[in-house]
Structure 1
Amino acid sequence: RIHQLGTTSLTFHGAEHSRFNHSLGVYEIVRQIIDVTFAKEPQLDPLERMVALCAALLHDLGHGPFSHAFEKVFGTDHEEYTQAIIIGNTEVSEVLSRVSDDFSLKVASIIKKNYPNQTLVKLISSQIDADRMDYLLRDAYYTGVSYGKFDLERILRVLRPSPDGNGVIVKYSGMHAVEDYIMSRYQMYQQVYFHPVSRSGEVLLWKILERAKKLYCAGYDFKVPPIQVLPFFVNEVSL
């Protein structure tokens, strides 16, 4: 129930998709990379594969209402909240602990970016990762623009795990697809994410949240008064 693009739907009215949609997409891209693209590479331990897939699915779990606008006003960090949900006394943590006692800690460490296998970290958080690749294509689709389109299948085919285990590399033959991805990202920021109407809507939202925060900190009583029903009269109509 958290919108992926916040106030962007004020401008692009089809942009009603959620972070749940996006999380499923990131999960699927990471699964394809591990099971298909990296299939001929040194095999991942089955447990590590599950750690990466769970991190992909849960990477945005800590987003609050209005996502980044909320974070700006209240000084929160969705990645820190994500880690707290994964390792805290939560239903999510309980499910993860069924794998092993330290499984939730491993998933959280990918979100925190200090997991020993940095290749798995970079699959979810880097300059060319499953997160960015999914939201560019998904946001372009729902906003109805063509700016965010790029050749995802080609990029997936040319990715390789770094030999030193510290990231992901791209074959030289796939550089044109990567350049196209970079330009698509630039154009989406210029034309969609930084659209003046969306940004002005976000500023208004900031001001509303800042006012609510100020009143709350001052001890204002937010109880809603009972609704007063005003009397009204209906003129009789003779048939």
Structure 2
Amino acid sequence: MEYQEKLLPREKVFRDPVLNYIYVQHQVILDLINTKEFQRLRRIKQLGPASYTFHGAEHSRFTHSLGVYEITRRICDGFLRNYPSKVEGDGLWDDSQRLVALCAALLHDIGHGAYSHTFEHIFGTNHEAITQEIITSEKTEVNQVLSKISPSFPKEVASVIDHTYPNQQVVQMISSQCDADRMDYLLRDAYNTGANYGNFDLTRILRVMRPYEGGICFEINGMHAVEDYIISRLQMYMQVYFHPVSRSMEVILSHLLQRAKELASQLDKNDRLTPHLLMPFFKNDFTIDDYLKLDDGVLNTYFINWIDSDDKILSDLADRFINRKPLKSVEYNNETESLIPTMQKWIQEAGFETTYYTAVNNSFDLPYDAYDPNKKHHATQIELRRNDGTMIELSKISQLVSAVTGKHLGDERFFFPKEMLSKDSDIDLFEPVYQEFQKHIKNDELIK
């Protein structure tokens, strides 16, 4: 039996709190899960510093990746059962595409690094590019497993990740406005954060999802399930992903890594404070092997050591991150933005280096993106299939989705040390400007 066709003697299952059972039937999937590159994902939190806000958010990229695989497997099963291709080019599901879809789903996040998004910002890495490198590099165990299918198979899987794979049904399973990736992380993040906003009817959505010649669409009688999914995603971004405390901890983490990068020459002393595994990134000369050695635990170990650093800023930022001492923040807008330089001046005079103890941060999300011929880039829109076989784009028929289409929702916040608000502190320089700022925002609840 060829490796491509090799099924496990008995399917393996992973018990999962969100999807109940995750079924593994192909030997190649089990072998990929057992690679060192995939096992590394156990050591990277899905939501990074958000666990400082939502204490249950300890789940990993590993669990999410298994979830995306399972939802993709269920999509393939539904397509094969209800919409199997009978004639080449009929726009229905060709099940020979199953294995590339399952592998791409499983591996779609394998390039995420330690505290991935913050790390990327500081060191200029790109997790999608690294995902493709892990898949296509002959040095990785992942590539060696995929190559057993065929010499060209790793590139096929990588092309799904970068959206160039010719079968758009496979691409849209993994990456679209209603895909296995988004559906799993919404349900999984809602479960682990305790936020019910992210719950939606996954069973119903999978039931009304179907293939067509342009990719994937949904039966029109399932419109309300898709609407619910869109609004659930909106709520999760507003209430969880954009939470001010989570963003504050990301700011501290970013400033901590930036300070360490600037002190790299001083840290390279071959003592316990030396971050040996980070040095290639400080020097901008790293390999894929260097990248794969990092995880959240490695960085946290360095941060714990840096608390004892002679550099007061590095020591203090490490302490604030490890021991959860978030910055405070306040919303600002066009009217109040002009106050920020003045506020930074007072903060500087109070003894805080503004480069490391203040930040402006904006977080916006586009709940739904309909096609606009005037835009260069747009996401794959959600198509609904009428009973007569014609298609209509979701926002053209759903008033609920239309109301949020093309609207960037979120806020802009100014972050500053909590000490500036302390009535017991010796710091009172900030109070006049703070009161002036309050006159503009007129809402103490905006301070987080």
State the TM-score, normalizing by the size of structure 2.
Answer: 0.48
Alpha-carbon distance change, 225 to 128 in structure 1, aligned in 2, over 3 angstroms: closer
Give the root-mean-square deviation of aligned CA atoms.
1.7
Counterpart position of 1:151: 201
Q: Decide whether the 8 Å contact of 2:84 with 2:94 is kept in 1.
A: no
> 1:223 deviation in Å?
2.5
The alignment status of 1:69 with 2:118, answered yes or no, reads: yes
> 1:167 deviation in Å?
1.8
Counterpart position of 1:41: 83
> 1:59 deviation in Å?
0.4
The one-character-per-residue Cα deviations of 1:10-67 (angstroms, maximum 9, x if unpaired) are 0100100000000000000000001124422134555421011000000000000001
Correspondences of 1:54-203 after superposition (within 5 Å): 54-89=103-138, 90-162=140-212, 164=213, 166-203=214-251
Q: Decide whether the 8 Å contact of 2:44 with 2:115 is kept in 1.
A: yes
> 1:225 deviation in Å?
4.7
Counterpart position of 2:256: 208
Q: Decide whether the 8 Å contact of 1:38 with 1:161 is kept in 2.
A: no
- The amino acid across from 2:70 in the alignment is E
Distance 1:8 1:14 in 2: 9
**3-state SS, counterpart of residue 160 of structure 1:** strand
Q: Unaligned 5+ residue runs, structure 1? A: 228-239
Distance 1:155 1:133 in 2: 10
Relative to its length, the structure with more strand (as a share) is 2
Distance 2:270 2:57 in 1: 33
The one-character-per-residue Cα deviations of 1:162-196 (angstroms, maximum 9, x if unpaired) are 2x2x3211111111011100110000011100111
The one-character-per-residue Cα deviations of 1:214-237 (angstroms, maximum 9, x if unpaired) are 233x5741532599xxxxxxxxxx
Correspondences of 1:20-39 after superposition (within 5 Å): 20-39=62-81
The count of residues paired between Structure 1 and Structure 2 equals 224
Which of 45, 48, 53 pairs up with 1:11? 53
- The amino acid across from 1:183 in the alignment is I
Fraction of identical pairs, as percent: 62
Distance 2:165 2:70 in 1: 21
**3-state SS, counterpart of residue 147 of structure 1:** helix
Counterpart position of 1:223: 270
Distance 1:26 1:91 in 2: 21
**3-state SS, counterpart of residue 4 of structure 1:** coil
The one-character-per-residue Cα deviations of 1:114-161 (angstroms, maximum 9, x if unpaired) are 000011001000110000000000000000111100000000000111
Distance 1:203 1:134 in 2: 27
Distance 1:100 1:225 in 2: 46
> 1:74 deviation in Å?
1.4
Counterpart position of 2:280: none
Counterpart position of 1:237: none
Residues 145-154 or 205-214, more deviating? 205-214
- The amino acid across from 2:107 in the alignment is L
Alpha-carbon distance change, 197 to 222 in structure 1, aligned in 2, over 3 angstroms: farther
Distance 2:119 2:272 in 1: 26
- The amino acid across from 2:216 in the alignment is V
Distance 1:136 1:93 in 2: 29
Distance 1:188 1:46 in 2: 34
* Higher Rg: 2
Say which structure, 1 or 2, has more relative contact order (CA 8 Å, 6+ apart).
Answer: 1
Distance 1:64 1:94 in 2: 21
Distance 1:58 1:101 in 2: 18
**3-state SS, counterpart of residue 39 of structure 1:** helix
**3-state SS, counterpart of residue 210 of structure 2:** strand
Alpha-carbon distance change, 204 to 34 in structure 1, aligned in 2, over 3 angstroms: same
- The amino acid across from 2:112 in the alignment is H
Q: Decide whether the 8 Å contact of 1:151 with 1:177 is kept in 2.
A: yes
Q: Decide whether the 8 Å contact of 2:79 with 2:211 is kept in 1.
A: no
> 1:68 deviation in Å?
1.1
State the TM-score, normalizing by the size of structure 1.
Answer: 0.89
Distance 1:46 1:33 in 2: 11
